Structure 1
């Protein structure tokens, strides 16, 4: 594979030379700024061999570098070895930005190309300004992969389908009316939707264009009098097409968005972080542009009471499947030969027995012992390590159900573990409980409560490099914005109805990884003379392994939280498992 990557780089550099480029910036995303991509847009992986979900490249005629975050440092080190591409570690002191890196290598007046259709307006502006400080220029060179990627996968054509209102609670026309109201309040006449999950949520439609994310390639334009959905016509079956048209929704070809934008007048709302630069350049000069966060991004992040009830059903289904899986694991490890990949397949098998299951919400992370320290390990049949009745197993997985999306991590003892591992595990658990129990004033950003998850680790000089919490979609993307809980500041506040992961962690390279993740929902708590206060409700239902706990490190209130949580897990899950599984569940949820 290393030789193949080297050959691809040679061909790419030849195309760069033909276009007069001194360097090429590859954003690693698609025209919708997606985290997970259709195979057609897997440009970063094709040209570098790195298949993590985050990263970008800068390539000159003599050098190449890939930037990614701490989740992928170990993986990227391995996958880039021998390719001629250097790893740049994001958010690590001393790591240059792409503009700084290329500024150190190339002289003034150098021309750096990028595909403007795969770079957001905000990213394009930032990169252009950064390069200008080097007296270098950024230009749109289009998609150079068209000429060098032989047998490139086609764009997907699988049919889309409706997400029934018995799950969504609101019709698409009701959602569109909410968007129109907020557009009018912003004194605008139109809003452009480009993020795939925004569009899927707005139109109560789902698809399978991207693995694990039930979305479909499309754009949408909502004006005062028209509703247009831009999508390959083959993906809309006749019956659904007729229904959409009867509701006043025009179904147009995917690329027609560029033609319609050229005809616009009045003010249009654009999200600069989710709209690509090529779309911006297509907008008519007669139109005025107002930049703001996409309206459906906020609407879908704040779940309604109906959506929350549906999500709880999804969590129960997921919990049932996980109890069955954990029981199987307890009976199998040490008696049969199994490996990490067998575990991944078994997880999907148990989830598939639940009604409404539509597949995994991401590629399950399964790491035994030292592999657990590879934060986003993507195990394959070929790379799977055998699992023995000793050590620690980390499993991060999730499911897509018609009722909602799940994301859960459990760290499991497969035999005796040392005192240090128990201490690490318990400190992480204290963080999971700490965030679940935190109370905070309304209008608080996630960065301001991140300490609740990290404090126990920090008090002992420990830390983890990734975020603590990300938003989770409603039968949509497992990673959903705009809010987050992490050390880096994000000014989007945590609001009632938001569903977020709670996943503190700790990793010892080469030994094990520890992460205990639940999904939590923000709820109203109390109002006092000092304002409104909020709290979290834990939605995930699955036992937390108590064999790894160093009990003396837990406070009485933390022990009570854990015992109460396990009591609820048993009450809600035991009616749906068989007698052997019920006894196993009783043991794993016993009070400590």
Structure 2
């Protein structure tokens, strides 16, 4: 039995009884709807021990359950063992929703509590409606953990720093003007900014409050007359404070956002997926709210030519680091002790040698043999497996540079691969190439493109349970919206300037995992009598493992693409490498 988790659940249950609720719901996020959280808001991890980046928790007086997706099924099973918490597998037939599960275990009209600060407007509304269908009521209890989480860490007070020109692309005033143009078009009097990456982007500021994401805790508001920044003042160095003031940015304490919203009159633009219910609830009834996608979210998704120029520069830096890592690995395997954890540290180490590096964009995901089938495995020094010159290695990693954010996955064979391994790898690779070569009309949604990556797998009765592409920020979050390419419908079309991952995959549980990921940018292709067409340009520079490719499964077009890609990698990276690494890269990029 995991006595620590059992004790924490008991503490929450005591607070639930005081509040008069029969259950408490944890959305798994923070007041800014973040994916990765400061320690202060990691309630899911505190209550369950589960360290994945996605999941919801429900606790009743006698039971508890955690919902998460297929990326984390194996990890969750391991981490929930001994806690008494039931694992609920999202998107699997027969799995009840949290509301349905509560409807089955609670009496009619029972109160279900939650912290409205940690639920978006849309999430709160949907969950409330779902509970009503199950004859239950939703109650905003505030943060029940405030009293029982005694070792809770405070919010970070690390200083904010400026993302300076020319790297930022546009100055603050230019970005403010873009937002104000939108306000004028919408006839609105203010824009509320709640997502941390939106705030960082529009103010050309960065922070270190969240591991791997260069953001800081705060809110913002832009009106036709001024820009407001709600942040702990201790986090803003004096020189930066002076610069912000000169750009007409007025600073107020972090929680003063509630006071300002209570006093606000007029029309306010609010993103219902990024704004928490507690903020909406404090608005005066006379305020007209226009719900729409956050203006900064839409603007920052369309990378400028300046940003793309620096992203391409960043890809060369990251590519050099990857080749140096592969060279080290080639020399080390079978000659010294190397664990999965060592791989994670080495990936970071080689990136740290590159100019402008500011840390990893996420902790490297490293899976040797059967561990590669754990999609988002979080390896530690204690749980790491030792690598042998035999089997398969999957590593997914990325870096944060002042000139961009990277995300790359490669799967390599540490010995002669089996026919099955080569077949599986090549089928995944065909999907990645198929999507890379796509040409599609303006207005195309991500779900319309997703089949291109899965087509060859589906023809062979294979599939993977996660999305194919996510947006990637510019020295910001490695997962960025609003666009995506996945089976689920997303109303935002794929447009030029959007930078996305391209990562089809396949996992054989208990054996190995395969994932090949490049970054790409949507670009214009042509205008015909039938409309405007777009396509993708690959950004990532790193060779593929030729040993794992079954050439007999490839078309001439696919072979040409691989050869051209490898020649491009060699041409771009070899001038930046030492002679021994150049020779190594030449071997890795031999034509098929």
Same fold (TM over 0.5): yes
Cα drift, residue 107 of structure 1: 1.2
Paired residues for 1:242-253 under 5 Å:
242-253=242-253
TM-score, reference length from structure 2 = 0.99
Kindly tell me the number of residue pairs found equivalent between the two proteins.
592
Cα-to-partner distance string for 1:122-173 (whole Å, 9 max, x where unaligned): 0000011111112211011011111111121110000000101211220011
2:286 is aligned with 1:254: no
Aligned to 1:282: 282
2:487 is aligned with 1:487: yes
Aligned to 1:104: 104
Instruction: Give unmatched runs, 5+ long, in structure 2.
Output: none
Aligned to 1:212: 212
Secondary structure class of the residue paired with 1:25? strand
Secondary structure class of the residue paired with 2:379? coil
Alpha-carbon distance between aligned partners in 2 of 1:285 and 1:182, rounded to the nearest angstrom: 24
CA contact (8 A) 1:23 1:59 kept: yes
Secondary structure class of the residue paired with 1:290? strand
Alpha-carbon distance between aligned partners in 2 of 1:208 and 1:416, rounded to the nearest angstrom: 43
Secondary structure class of the residue paired with 1:488? coil
Aligned to 2:392: 392
2:260 is aligned with 1:263: no
Aligned to 1:573: 573
Cα root mean square deviation, aligned = 0.7
Cα-to-partner distance string for 1:536-591 (whole Å, 9 max, x where unaligned): 00000000111101110010000000000000000000011111111000000010
Paired residues for 1:33-432 under 5 Å:
33-432=33-432
Q: Which runs of 4+ in 1 moved over 4 A?
A: none
CA contact (8 A) 2:373 2:512 kept: yes
Secondary structure class of the residue paired with 1:449? helix
Cα drift, residue 340 of structure 1: 0.4
Cα-to-partner distance string for 1:379-422 (whole Å, 9 max, x where unaligned): 00000000000100000000000100000000011001210010
Cα drift, residue 286 of structure 1: 2.8
Moved more, 130-139 or 235-244: 130-139
Cα-to-partner distance string for 1:276-335 (whole Å, 9 max, x where unaligned): 000001112231111000001000001011111110011110000000000000000011
Alpha-carbon distance between aligned partners in 2 of 1:527 and 1:230, rounded to the nearest angstrom: 45
CA contact (8 A) 2:172 2:247 kept: no
Aligned to 1:529: 529
CA contact (8 A) 2:71 2:465 kept: yes
Alpha-carbon distance between aligned partners in 2 of 1:80 and 1:130, rounded to the nearest angstrom: 26
Alpha-carbon distance between aligned partners in 1 of 2:242 and 2:59, rounded to the nearest angstrom: 47
Alpha-carbon distance between aligned partners in 1 of 2:86 and 2:401, rounded to the nearest angstrom: 40
Alpha-carbon distance between aligned partners in 2 of 1:146 and 1:15, rounded to the nearest angstrom: 10
Secondary structure class of the residue paired with 2:321? helix
Cα-to-partner distance string for 1:196-230 (whole Å, 9 max, x where unaligned): 00000000000000000000000001111121000
TM-score, reference length from structure 1 = 0.99
Cα-to-partner distance string for 1:329-366 (whole Å, 9 max, x where unaligned): 00000111110001110111100000000000001000
Secondary structure class of the residue paired with 2:57? strand
Alpha-carbon distance between aligned partners in 2 of 1:379 and 1:80, rounded to the nearest angstrom: 16
Alpha-carbon distance between aligned partners in 2 of 1:135 and 1:425, rounded to the nearest angstrom: 49
Secondary structure class of the residue paired with 1:168? coil
Alpha-carbon distance between aligned partners in 1 of 2:64 and 2:383, rounded to the nearest angstrom: 27
2:24 is aligned with 1:24: yes
CA contact (8 A) 1:31 1:118 kept: yes
Secondary structure class of the residue paired with 1:139? strand
Alpha-carbon distance between aligned partners in 1 of 2:584 and 2:93, rounded to the nearest angstrom: 47
Secondary structure class of the residue paired with 1:465? coil
Paired residues for 1:535-550 under 5 Å:
535-550=535-550
Secondary structure class of the residue paired with 2:211? coil
CA contact (8 A) 1:264 1:286 kept: no
Instruction: Give unmatched runs, 5+ long, in structure 1.
Output: none
Alpha-carbon distance between aligned partners in 1 of 2:168 and 2:554, rounded to the nearest angstrom: 40
